[in-house]
Amino acid sequence: MRSGILLFCILLFIPYSFTAIEEPQLAQSAQITIDESGTIRVIGGSMEDLSLNLSIPASEEYQQVSADEPVYKDENGNSFIRIYSASPANPFSYSRSIRVGTRARISPELPASYIVPAEISRYVLPTSRTQSDDGEIAALARKITADAEDPFEKVAKIAIWINENIEYDAGLVGQEKDALSALKERRGVCVEYSTLFAALARAAGIPTRYITGYAYSEKFAGWLGHAWNEAYIGKWVPVDATWFEVGATDALHIEGGKFPELSHEAQLVASVTPPEATIEWEREGMSGARADNIKTESISYFEPRSDYVLEAAEDELAPGGKTIAYFSIVGKDYRVIEVGLAPCLGEGSVAVKGGTQRLILRPGRLSTAVWELSAAKDLDARYLYTCPLTLNSPVLAQKTLVVRIDPRLGNLPDYAASIAKNGVAPGENNSVIFSLPPSRQAKDYVVVVKDGIYRKRISAPADTVEFASRGIGRLTVYAAGQGGGFHRLEYWAVAGRKLRIDGFALSKPLIAGKGATAEANVSAESYPADIEIEFYFGNQSARRHGRISGPSSFSFEFFAPSAGQYAAKVRLIDSAGDVAGEKAEIADVQAQPKVRIAGVKRSLSGDQVLLTLSFEQEGKPVGPRLSVGGQEYPARDRAEILLAEGSYPIALYWKDEAGNLYESRMELEVRKPGILGDGAQAQGLPATSQPAPPCPIAAAILISAFACFTAKRE
């Protein structure tokens, strides 16, 4: 059933007493109590037979939930408890206490390659609110993710774009705009943020679903009804584009339900008299988006990380001098962090350019941020200036970097720095070429790229600093040296990941009304590669998404329709949304084979009856056999069976050329032959007798009986 948690993010500030919460993104675990209580009343009438499906959070690996009554599941696997009364009071009040223990949700590892399971593929489909098939949304998704080197970076870049380009507007609470409206207006609350994220992610081929629940907002100092997302990139990864937690969410996110679409489903059913009477449902502790029905019993925090590096290429500058400050950290899991370098207060001796930066972290991999520093020119020569620059982040320990401005120093002459190769393949090394005047030699130089820092002491007029190139698209390199000065350089890494379809085949033969499979073999010029592959057969279609680390096979299941010829096609889509390859063929679908008993003859053999059965076949049945009296006989042209009088269950079995099994069952009555009747009768079996009847009247009766029997069978 639909979650009862409101999807709005903020409305009014209503004071509520709970355990003090500081720095929610560092919340490691929490114990929380949710008071689900309310009153239902009928205005202008009475009610009977009230049924309320009250949504509660579901137990997950990172979230343990306990309630004092049975818990049920809906079609999406979400939990609810049922409150029922055959003769409810008017007003009817209820109260339930739900206890939730939460832990921060993280993504310590993701598969290097994966194929999206068929049951998850539905989360990539467009809906009326999540218009991932709209041309504008699809084009924007391609633009945002064009230079992403893996699916996590696609997810991160979409979340970053939304957080930076959509303005939070509490005045839109309750309006619940669709994705196109959110994109056009560039304003919204959590509903619009999560809806636009789902549309852009699905347009990029990433299955995405909605999570509704509660979250603690540091901005509004309280618990709110909230909506965010999960993206499938080999595993489900949490994404909160509103509060900007990507790849990881803190322990103050309570997951209420998971859905392919945000919608409001009925969860309260009551019979009212008269029919025009109205029902009012008041939820205690809920005011708009405010969730004052939540009490934080206890909370523990992670220690903010301090194992990062914050340095300057030069920490002593002359007035007007320039340098860079650079930050580096090794990721422990998949997440996005914000880092900013705040300038010193007061005299403003050093200007900082670069603002707040979003770093995409991966386990065991270095990530960097760079800020450009400029010392003020017009400074009093009688003073030395000390400027502490402060690194700020919601999840990192605060550190300061001290830069001193000494008017007694003179600026050294400039030097030259350039990129050795303007274009490289992903993973190919590149280098910075330094050309130095004499006064800039015998000094230390540093090269900073997106995931590496390279240092070298250069004592010659020219030298190079080699670095590893990671990523694709236009990449930035900073080159700076002792004595001040820096160069901002760029080059291109071109992803030559051309995709191709190496083979396409359907399981054969195809049988009408039966399941079949198609298989496409794909490969790329270089790996890993993100792909989308589409399959079409008649009016059936399916899509698969994945990240491959070598030649791979994609399978599609489908049903063959009625007999005839049909077009089958597979199409390969690259990360830019272009068709990278296509193969098609005409497939023949065969009718299902049939086997039936065409006639039965009988004669006496001692005390038993010798039955001679003849068979008819349609199509190409494989291995037809007849089971009767505990014995099996081939069922091709005819079979002779010796049976005593009695009733026998009989069955015909056969297969088609694809291995599908068929059967036909009936009852066989065996009697000794008489003057007017056959010795074998069964529903669906035509009967004849041997010897021929002794008179024309008997013959006429037998022939008539045979005709009626045959008509009934047909």
Whether the per-residue pLDDT at 79 is higher than 80: the answer is yes
- Lowest mean per-residue pLDDT among 316-320, 622-626, 686-690: 686-690
Cβ–Cβ under 8 Å, residues 232 and 239: no
Q: Would you say residue 215 lies in a domain?
A: yes
Same domain flag for 169 and 213: yes
* Nearest in space to 393 (alpha carbons), one of 428, 425, 367: 367
Residues 6 or more apart in contact with residue 414 via CB below 8 angstroms:
485
Is the model more confident about 436 or about 694?
A: 436
Res 175: pLDDT: 86
**Token pair of 588, please?**
């023949």
Same domain flag for 703 and 638: yes
Q: Is the pTM of this model over 0.85?
A: no
Same domain flag for 130 and 98: no
> Structurally, how many domains does the chain consist of?
6
CA distances from 106 to 161, 246, 304, 312, 547 (A): 22, 9, 15, 32, 21
Band of residue 670 on the pLDDT scale cut at 50, 70, 90 = confident
Cβ–Cβ under 8 Å, residues 613 and 666: no
Mean pLDDT along residues 652-681: 80
SS3 of 683, please?
coil
Is the preceding peptide bond at 274 cis, omega within 30 degrees of 0?
A: yes
Band of residue 64 on the pLDDT scale cut at 50, 70, 90 = very high
* Nearest in space to 246 (alpha carbons), one of 299, 206, 197: 197
Res 320: pLDDT: 94
Res 701: pLDDT: 23
Same domain flag for 570 and 635: no
The pLDDT tens digits for 112-138 are: 899 999 899 999 999 999 999 999 999
The pLDDT tens digits for 263-272 are: 766 578 888 8
Mean pLDDT along residues 8-29: 59
Res 187: pLDDT: 95
SS3 of 242, please?
coil
Q: Would you say residue 13 lies in a domain?
A: no
**Alpha-carbon torsion (280, 283, 284, 287), positive or negative:** negative
Same domain flag for 122 and 255: yes
Whether the per-residue pLDDT at 198 is higher than 70: the answer is yes
Same domain flag for 159 and 69: no
Could you give the CA distance from residue 372 to residue 351 in angstroms, rounded to a whole number?
Answer: 8
Tell me the pLDDT of the chain averaged across its residues: 87
Residues 6 or more apart in contact with residue 420 via CB below 8 angstroms:
430, 431, 432, 433, 464
Same domain flag for 576 and 506: yes
Check which CATH number belongs to the domain holding 534 and give it. 2.60.40.10
Res 496: pLDDT: 61
Whether the per-residue pLDDT at 394 is higher than 60: the answer is yes
Q: Would you say residue 171 lies in a domain?
A: yes
Res 423: pLDDT: 84
Q: Would you say residue 111 lies in a domain?
A: no
Whether the per-residue pLDDT at 705 is higher than 70: the answer is no
DSSP string, 442-473: SEEEEEEETTEEEEEEE-SSEEEEEE---SSE
At which of 590, 608, 643 does a domain end?
590
Q: Would you say residue 525 lies in a domain?
A: yes
Mean pLDDT along residues 102-112: 96
Res 76: pLDDT: 86
Cβ–Cβ under 8 Å, residues 55 and 76: no
Cβ–Cβ under 8 Å, residues 107 and 362: no
Res 422: pLDDT: 86
Highest mean pLDDT among 8-12, 154-158, 552-556, 594-598: 154-158
Residue type, 249: T
The pLDDT tens digits for 471-500 are: 888 899 999 999 999 999 999 887 666 888
- Lowest mean per-residue pLDDT among 280-284, 374-378, 622-626: 280-284
Q: How far is CA 134 from the centre of its chain?
A: 19
Band of residue 19 on the pLDDT scale cut at 50, 70, 90 = low
Q: Would you say residue 492 lies in a domain?
A: no
Same domain flag for 241 and 169: yes
Please list the alpha-helical segments (H only) found in 543-688. none
Residue 5 burial class via C-beta count within 10 angstroms: exposed 0-12, middle 13-18, buried 19 and up: buried
Same domain flag for 440 and 509: no
HEC sequence for 416-434? EEEECCCEECCCCCEEEEE
* Nearest in space to 279 (alpha carbons), one of 36, 6, 39: 39
Res 270: pLDDT: 83
Res 498: pLDDT: 80
DSSP string, 22-85: --GGGEEEEEEEEEEEEEEEEESSEEEEEEEEEEEPPPBTTEEEE-SS--EE-TTS-EEEEEEE
Res 178: pLDDT: 95
At which of 411, 441, 474 does a domain end?
411
Cβ–Cβ under 8 Å, residues 213 and 5: yes
* Nearest in space to 418 (alpha carbons), one of 431, 427, 402, 437: 431
Same domain flag for 368 and 433: no
Check which CATH number belongs to the domain holding 98 and give it. 2.60.40
Could you give the CA distance from residue 24 to residue 617 in angstroms, rounded to a whole number?
Answer: 73
Whether the per-residue pLDDT at 282 is higher than 90: the answer is no
Band of residue 652 on the pLDDT scale cut at 50, 70, 90 = very high
Whether the per-residue pLDDT at 570 is higher than 90: the answer is yes
* pLDDT-above-70 percentage for the chain: 89
Whether the per-residue pLDDT at 702 is higher than 50: the answer is no
Same domain flag for 122 and 254: yes
**Sequence-separated contacts (24+) of 699-704 with Cβ below 8 Å:** 701/676, 702/676, 702/677, 702/678
Band of residue 44 on the pLDDT scale cut at 50, 70, 90 = very high
* Nearest in space to 204 (alpha carbons), one of 163, 164, 161: 161
The pLDDT tens digits for 604-626 are: 888 899 989 999 999 999 999 99
Mean pLDDT along residues 400-429: 90
Mean pLDDT along residues 226-239: 97
* pLDDT-above-90 percentage for the chain: 64
Whether the per-residue pLDDT at 703 is higher than 50: the answer is no
Res 361: pLDDT: 97
Q: Would you say residue 8 lies in a domain?
A: no
Whether the per-residue pLDDT at 538 is higher than 80: the answer is yes
Mean pLDDT along residues 620-636: 92
Band of residue 403 on the pLDDT scale cut at 50, 70, 90 = very high
Q: Would you say residue 7 lies in a domain?
A: no
Whether the per-residue pLDDT at 675 is higher than 50: the answer is no
Could you give the CA distance from residue 156 to residue 159 in angstroms, rounded to a whole number?
Answer: 5
Mean pLDDT along residues 317-331: 97
Residues 6 or more apart in contact with residue 84 via CB below 8 angstroms:
50, 51, 52
Could you give the CA distance from residue 666 to residue 663 in angstroms, rounded to a whole number?
Answer: 10
Q: How many CB atoms lie within 10 A of CB 557?
A: 13
**Token pair of 361, please?**
């972290």
Whether the per-residue pLDDT at 409 is higher than 50: the answer is yes
Res 686: pLDDT: 42
Is the model more confident about 19 or about 389?
A: 389
At which of 368, 389, 411 does a domain end?
411
Could you give the CA distance from residue 153 to residue 165 in angstroms, rounded to a whole number?
Answer: 18
Whether the per-residue pLDDT at 558 is higher than 70: the answer is yes
Res 20: pLDDT: 64
Same domain flag for 242 and 285: no
Whether the per-residue pLDDT at 691 is higher than 70: the answer is no
Band of residue 3 on the pLDDT scale cut at 50, 70, 90 = very low
> Residue 346 is part of which domain span?
302-411
**Token pair of 51, please?**
């049924």
Upper half-sphere CA count for residue 477 (Cβ side, 13 Å): 29
Could you give the CA distance from residue 384 to residue 378 in angstroms, rounded to a whole number?
Answer: 13
